[in-house]
Each structure stands twice: as C-alpha cells, then as structure tokens.
Structure 1
Amino acid sequence: MTPQAGGPDRGRRETVEERADRLWNELLQELRVAQTGVQILFGFLLTVVFQQRFTTLSGTDRDIYTVTVMLGAAAVGALIGPVSFHRLLTGRRLKSQMVIWASRLTIVGLVLLLCTMASALMLILRLAVADTLASWLVGVMVAWFVLCWGVLPVYARHASRSDSVRGDYGGPRDRRSQG
C-alpha cells in the first residue's frame, strides 16, 4: 500500500482509490442529512399553493413564493446530483473525479438551500411581522447560516493547519506521549 504523499491527510496510509472511497462515503453521509432537510422543505413549499389563504397573498408574496420554490427545486437537484454521478460513472475508475464533482454540487446545493431558507423565511415573516422587521430577521438568520455552514468550518480548517504544524490537534492527549 502506497501512502499518498503531501495530501491533506498525510497521517493516513491509503491509496488514491482508498482515499476516494473514504471521501465518497463521507460525502454520502453528509448528503443524507442535507437531502432530507431540503426535500422536506421543498415538499412543504409545494403544498402552500393549494392552501385557501394562498389566493389572498399579495403579488410580491406570490413572487417570493415562486422564487422560493424554484430555489428549493434547484437545491434538490444539486443535492441529488451526486447520485447521478455515481450511477453513470460507477465502474469507470473515475471515483476521484466523481468525488470532486459531487463535492462541488454539494456546495452549490448548500448555497441554494441557504437561499431557499432565506426566501422561505422572508415569505413567512412578511405575513407575521412588519416588512422591515422581516428583512432584519431574515438577515440575522442568513448571517447565522453563513456562520454555521461557512465561517466556522473555514476557521476550523485554518486552525487545523496551524495546529498540525505544532502537532496540537485539540483532542485528548495520547497517554504514551505523556511523561
């Protein structure tokens, strides 16, 4: 077994194929969470148009609803896209490339999910509170999503690079290395 030289997981002894398999399995676990959430949200969005109150929505609220449904559909497409990659590329020795493209689709799907959530919140909050307050509340939630889904992972990634240089991984210390 040949270790992958210079990769981000320098401590692992895995072949390129083993690394692709591991990354693919990790991506599938992530997608299961995201797909479930976006599909439930999209399902609820599809039912809104059939509610009696829908006919009383303003033109602006109908426009927001339309944008929200389209964003939700796009998010579903992007987050289910890796399934198509897997099905169409399996057995062609392209798993490393498949992982890269599926990862990119997942990022796009998460951005579209963020936009769907913001748009859905705007629609709901415009009906519940004043438009100005709704805008502020949506802005706060978008900032929260960006923090949770983007800023903290990027910070952790950056911090891990600094820690790996020092050999400090922030976890429990190895008993063998304690004096």
Structure 2
Amino acid sequence: MTAPEESEQQRLARNLGELLQELRVAQAGVQILFGFLLSVAFTERYAHADEFVRVTHLVTVLFSAAAAMLLTAPASWHRLLFRHGRRAEIIRVANVFALSGLVALACAMTGTVLLLGEVVLGGWAAILLGVLAGLGFLTLWFALPLRERLRTLTT
C-alpha cells in the first residue's frame, strides 16, 4: 500500500510500530550501560576513587536511569491506553519521551567516556575525551538530523 492509500489509522499504527521498534534498539543499549555503571560501584578500585570520579559516576548513573525510564515509558503508555482510541496521543507523548531519553542516553554515554578517560588518562585529556564524545552525540544524533529536516522543509 502506498502512502496516499494509507488511512489515518493505518498511518498511526505504522508510526507507533516504528517508534516502538526504535525504542527497543535504544533500550538494549541503555540497559547494558546501566548494568555496567552499577557494577563499577562494587569494585575495589572504586572504593579509592576521588570525589570527581564518584560525583561523575553518580551523575552518569542518574542520566542512565533517566534514559531507561524515558525509553521504556512509551511501552507503558501504549499498554495502558491502547484500545481507547488514543493512539495519536500515545505517539505524541512517546515521541517526546524518546527524544528526551536519547538526550539522557547521550549524557550518560558522554559521562561514561569521561569516567573512563579520567581513570585511564586523567586531567585535561579526560575532559577532552568527554567533550569530544558529547559533541559527537550532539552532532550525529541531533544537529545533522535537524539540519536535514530543515533542509527538506525549505526545498
């Protein structure tokens, strides 16, 4: 069926299916990252970590938890509201959750790179790695897609 032949309900069903599939991919990554970050706190080396490492780790864990919450929330919304004629609302809210979850995941992954950089290299080199990771996520996940979207709208 081509797009012009697609009914509003079919389009909504397809959009929801695509969104939930995208979230499944992101959820796997965030769950692995969250588990890794939790396990770090129970290592002997962590007991001797300085305040910068501990605070960065805590903030990174919190971003990872936020990403997990935001990326799984659409499934809950779908489960609780489906068959109530609210698919368009579910998609609208799920899209906000998904984008917010990706921001939180980018922050968590940037924090993880910063932590690893601090443990391996320390100092400014670690900060540089964290900044480069953050810029990479910002560019690839947000700036380039938004630029493409704006380019498409103006042509």
Same-fold status (TM-score > 0.5): yes
Alignment of 1:71 with 2:63, yes or no, is yes
Amino acid in the other structure paired with 1:160: T
- Name the residue aligned to 2:29: 37
Runs of 4+ in 1 over 4 A off after TM superposition: none
1:12/1:152 CA distance change after superposition, 3 Å: farther
Q: Provide the C-alpha distance between the structure 1 equivalents of 2:4 and 2:27, rounded to a whole number of angstroms.
A: 30
Q: Provide the C-alpha distance between the structure 2 equivalents of 1:57 and 1:70, rounded to a whole number of angstroms.
A: 18
- Name the residue aligned to 1:28: 20
Counterpart among 120, 126, 139 of residue 131 in structure 2? 139
Give the TM-score, by structure 2 length: 0.93
- Name the residue aligned to 1:149: 141
Residues 17 and 96, structure 1, Cα contact 8 Å, conserved in 2: no
Cα-to-partner distance string for 1:135-168 (whole Å, 9 max, x where unaligned): 11111111111111011211222233345xxxxx
Q: Provide the C-alpha distance between the structure 1 equivalents of 2:40 and 2:129, rounded to a whole number of angstroms.
A: 22
- Name the residue aligned to 1:15: 7
Alignment of 1:126 with 2:107, yes or no, is no
Q: Which has the larger radius of gyration?
A: 1
Counterpart among 101, 105, 109 of residue 101 in structure 2? 109
Task: Give the C-alpha shift of residue 23 in structure 1.
Answer: 0.6
Greater fraction of residues in helix: 2
Cα-to-partner distance string for 1:95-143 (whole Å, 9 max, x where unaligned): 0110000010000000000111111111111111131111111111111
Give the 3-state SS of the residue equivalent to 1:23 in structure 2.
helix
Alignment of 1:53 with 2:29, yes or no, is no
Amino acid in the other structure paired with 1:108: S
- Structure 2 regions of 5+ residues with no counterpart? none
Q: Provide the C-alpha distance between the structure 2 equivalents of 1:32 and 1:55, rounded to a whole number of angstroms.
A: 34
Give the 3-state SS of the residue equivalent to 1:50 in structure 2.
coil
RMSD: 1.5
- Structure 1 regions of 5+ residues with no counterpart? 1-10, 164-179
Which structure exhibits the higher relative contact order, with contacts defined as CA atoms closer than 8 Å and separated by 6 or more residues? 2
